């Protein structure tokens, strides 16, 4: 999941509403109401000159079928629009795909989620397989082939958590592998929901208890392991899922038992 904390002080370095440091960039945007300059940020959220109100994430948890989502759930989020300068005004809830623009608007949490994912260095599993892809290593057709994630790490099997921050907002993302699909190179594939069981000589001719395959024809086969990752995220009233996949390949040789006749 992604946990997003609220925006920091608008005068903090890096906030989207910061004045320029005098390097020739654009001048800071002002917040205006009825011809008067007003604070760009306060207890009611940040000011949107376009919507003429302060914007903040709605604290209400609207069900997916609520009309306020306009059929877009779970994309975007529900926000509150409130103008304290209008006597008797009340906050109005509305749906928006992105945080409405404003001088002190927080960064898009989806962008921060991508930055957090980039920091994870996610990869395909390191392939563990018997028979190995090594000189002189030949498997026997009809005998079990074992597959597993060799030397599993957070970056190859998960779960892994990383954070990214900007403009006073911190996004923390957690990713994990849901399954590994093994394309065995003989037209068959095997789906394994865990890292598999590493083979040991003591197992002998047993089949893998968690992730295995049996070849019926001799030959040289390219085996590809594809890891399917899921990143669930939520924050600033938004939520979603980011699917990712990574692949790695190796090759193995399968042959028949040679019988020595004297």
Final residue of a structural domain among 57, 72, 105: 105
The answer to the question of residue 5 being in a domain is no
Report the CATH number that the domain containing residue 161 is assigned in CATH: 2.60.40.10
Specify whether 83 is located in the same domain as 116.
Answer: no
The reported pLDDT for the residue numbered 101 is 85
pLDDT digits (tens, 9 = 90+) for 229-256: 999 887 666 777 899 999 999 999 999 8
List Cα–Cα distances, 160 to 18, 57, 194, in angstroms: 33, 28, 15
- Provide the pLDDT confidence category of residue 181 given band limits of 50, 70 and 90: very high
pLDDT above 80: residue 44: yes
Helices (H), the chain: 109-118
Average model confidence (pLDDT) for the chain?
84
pLDDT at 27 over 80: no
With respect to residue 189, please indicate whether it lies within any of the assigned structural domains: yes
Q: Are residues 45 and 142 in the same domain?
A: no
Strands (E), the chain: 3-4, 32-33, 36-37, 41-42, 45-48, 53-57, 77-82, 92-96, 126-130, 139-140, 144-150, 160-166, 169-183, 189-192, 212-214, 219-235, 238-255
Domain count for the chain: 2
Do both 121 and 69 map to the same domain? no
Domain boundaries, position 66: 23-105
Supply the pTM of this predicted model: 0.66
Distance of CA 13 to CAs 19, 47, 55, 75, Å? 9, 19, 21, 30
Same domain, 101 and 126: no
Residue 4 lies in a domain: no
| Residue 119 predicted with pLDDT over 60 | yes
Q: Are residues 90 and 214 in the same domain?
A: no
The answer to whether position 78 is within a domain reads yes
Q: Is residue 16 part of a domain?
A: no
Question: Residue 98's pLDDT is what?
Answer: 86
- Both 136 and 225 in one domain: the answer is yes
Q: Which residue has the higher pLDDT, 23 or 121?
A: 121
Q: Which of 9-23, 151-165, 248-262 has the highest mean pLDDT?
A: 151-165
CA 251 distance to own-chain centroid: 30
160 shares a domain with 40: no
Q: Quick check: 11 pLDDT over 70?
A: no
DSSP string, 172-201: EEEEEEEEEEEE-SSS-EEEESS-B----G
Give the rounded percent of residues in the chain with a pLDDT score beyond 70. 85
Range among 10-19, 27-36, 106-115, 184-193 with highest mean pLDDT value:
184-193
Q: What are phi and psi of 206, to 5 degrees?
A: -70, 155
Q: Pick from 249, 59, 257, 242: which is nearest to 140 by CA?
A: 257
Task: Verify that 55 and 174 share a domain, yes or no.
Answer: no
Does residue 55 lie within any of the structural domains? yes
Tokens of 142: 């009809």
Which of 56, 87, 105 is a domain's end point? 105
Q: How confident is the model at residue 258 (pLDDT cuts 50, 70, 90)?
A: low
Supply the pLDDT for residue 95: 94
The C-alpha atoms of residue 122 and residue 50 are separated, in whole angstroms, by 40
Q: Given pLDDT bands bounded at 50, 70 and 90, which one contains residue 1?
A: very low
Residues 134 and 101 in one domain: no
Query: According to the model, what pLDDT value does residue 19 have?
Result: 33
One domain, residues 172 and 76: no
Is residue 247 located within the same domain as residue 154? yes
Q: Choose the final residue of a domain: 105, 131, 163.
A: 105
Residue 7 lies in a domain: no
User: Same domain, yes or no, for 127 and 248?
Assistant: yes
């Amino acid at each position: 999941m992604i946990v997003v904390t609220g925006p920091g002080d608008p005068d903090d370095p890096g906030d989207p509403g910061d004045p320029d440091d005098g390097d020739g960039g654009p001048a800071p945007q002002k917040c205006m109401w009825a011809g008067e300059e007003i604070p760009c940020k306060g207890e009611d959220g940040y000011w949107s000159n376009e919507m003429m109100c302060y914007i903040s994430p709605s604290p209400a948890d609207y069900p997916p079928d609520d009309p306020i989502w306009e059929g877009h759930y779970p994309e975007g989020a529900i926000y509150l629009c409130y103008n304290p300068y209008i006597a008797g005004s009340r906050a109005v809830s509305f749906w928006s795909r992105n945080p409405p623009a404003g001088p002190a608007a927080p960064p898009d949490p989806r962008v921060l989620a991508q930055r957090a994912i980039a920091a994870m260095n996610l990869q395909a599993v390191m392939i563990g397989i018997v028979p190995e892809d090594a000189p002189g290593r030949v498997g026997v057709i009809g005998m079990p082939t074992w597959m597993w994630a060799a030397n599993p790490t957070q970056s190859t099997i998960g779960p892994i958590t990383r954070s990214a921050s900007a403009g006073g907002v911190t996004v923390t993302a957690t990713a994990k592998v849901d399954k590994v699909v093994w394309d065995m190179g003989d037209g068959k594939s095997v789906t394994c929901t865990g890292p598999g069981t590493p083979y040991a000589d003591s197992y002998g001719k047993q089949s893998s208890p968690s992730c295995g395959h049996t070849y019926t024809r001799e030959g040289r086969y390219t085996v590809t392991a594809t890891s399917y990752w899921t990143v669930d995220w939520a924050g600033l009233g938004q939520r979603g899922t980011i699917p990712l996949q990574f692949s790695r390949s190796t090759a193995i040789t399968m042959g028949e038992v040679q019988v020595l006749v004297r």
